[in-house]
Amino acid sequence: MGIKLSNSSLLRAEARGAFPRRLRISAATVCWDRAEVNAWLQARKSERATWQYADPS
């Protein structure tokens, strides 16, 4: 889905409640609920309207 975060970054974000929590499939395999990740992505999109970028000049 184009989310480029390391496992440690994902774990921290999940612990803060800033990213959906993972689902354990087996001892070494995890996944995320697609609907929850899509909702997270939509929330990030709506934040773009309020982002403040540095002045390029």
pLDDT, one tens digit per residue, over 21-57 is 999 999 999 999 999 999 999 998 888 878 777 776 6
Residue 50 carries which DSSP code?
Answer: G
d(CA 49, CA 4): 22
Task: Inform me whether the pLDDT recorded for 9 exceeds 90.
Answer: yes
> If we measure between CA atoms, which residue out of 28, 51, 30, 53 comes closest to residue 19?
30
- Contact residues for 3 (Cβ-Cβ < 8 A; gap 6+): 37
- On the question of pLDDT at 20 being above 90, the answer is yes
- Check residue 5 and report its DSSP letter: -
C-alpha 11/C-alpha 16 separation (Å) is 9
